Chains A and B, each alone.
Chain A
Amino acid sequence: MTLDPTTLAAIAAMAVATYLTRIAGYWLVRRFTLAGRPAAALEAVPGAVLVALIAPTVLATGPAESGAALVTILIARRGAMLPAVIGGVAAAALLRLALA
């Protein structure tokens, strides 16, 4: 087990940067109360961030990823998360194999 000083410095830089992003939003909202359009913007954030996170993989990577996403959605519509994730992973593997 080793702990390289430069690696540790990089990890520390990542840790500080990441914590700043986590506290900043909380801090801002504590100081300013939001209503009207800013509040509506904030309300749209959860869906928008999650959609942005997955959109390039789902829409612009290839037919295997788009197909696996569709399988995930279809299973998830019927309820639980775990079967949907397993189904999506299996579909990704099979579709990549079939379309390779």
Chain B
Amino acid sequence: MNDVRETPAGDTSALAEAGAGLAAIAPVVVSVAAYGLLLGALAAQKGLSPLETLAMSALVFAGSSQFVALDLWSAPAAVWTLGATALVVNLRHVLMGAALAPAMRTWPRGLPPIAVFFMADENWALCIRRAGQGPLRPAFYMAMALALYGTWTASTTLGSILGAGLQDPARWGLDFAFTAVFIVLVMGFWTGPRASLPPWAVAAAAAVAVEATVPGAWYILAGGLAGSVAGALQPRRSVP
């Protein structure tokens, strides 16, 4: 049930909110489809069947951890190693969920635990930006989430069926699509050199240093935490 008291009637129809969500996620969907194909092809080369690729995408639904998992993949699968690695790669979700939670405060009680299952970097970034401009409605969030989920499961499965056909994707620069999407997303969080530069520089330095010295995906968490601490230590203006 949406809280319709805050905004004039007509503005808040669930359909309009869903449409706005789909419009915002549309350009992301294209690049997600590109690296979904890539992940599927990689999975096929590692010996996963299309059904197994579909199961992984549908149940895990976390692109970067799936790429890392396939990098480590062996037959038979190392269950505990893969589970632990997914935990480390995705620990950033703890920070992300904490940042998103206040925007879900007015939602129906049972919905957030379901909604967070669909929280990925791209739709999270867009929803945080939306929450900065006004209330974040469930219809906006879920339309975006399901578009992303459908795209990811379909494109990874298709990629695994096409499989070996796509050889050496790095030659075509397709692996860079992931980085490019995040560059554009992070630019949306730039609020000027005074507020953004110190935490971002700290985050980048920590991530690069940890990535160079610690195996695995700890650099994401290290950079996120270091940048967040730098943000907290800055001389403050008003914090909402």
Contacts and interface: CB of A to CB of B under 8 A. Distances in A.
Contact of B62 (A10, A18, A52, A81): A18
Most chain A CB within 10 A, of B80, B92, B98, B174, is at: B98
Interface in A5-25: 6-25
On chain A, which size bracket covers the interface?
Answer: 35 or more
Interface stretch (B1-9, B136-144, B178-186): B178-186
B49 A3 contact: yes
Interface in B43-75: 48-52, 55-56, 59-62, 64-66, 69
Given A14-B60, A25-B98, A93-B173, A84 B183 contact: yes
Contacts of A99: none
On chain B, which size bracket covers the interface?
Answer: 35 or more
Contacts of A18: 60-62, 65, 86-87, 90, 93
A49 B202 CA distance: 11
Contact of B180 (A7, A10, A28, A88): A88
Contacts of B147: none
Contact of B224 (A10, A37, A49, A60): A49
B52 A4 contact: yes
A52 B222 contact: yes
B12 interface: no
A35 B65 CA distance: 32
A15 B49 contact: no
Contacts of B77: 4, 6-7, 9-10
A80 B77 CA distance: 41
Contacts of B125: 46, 50
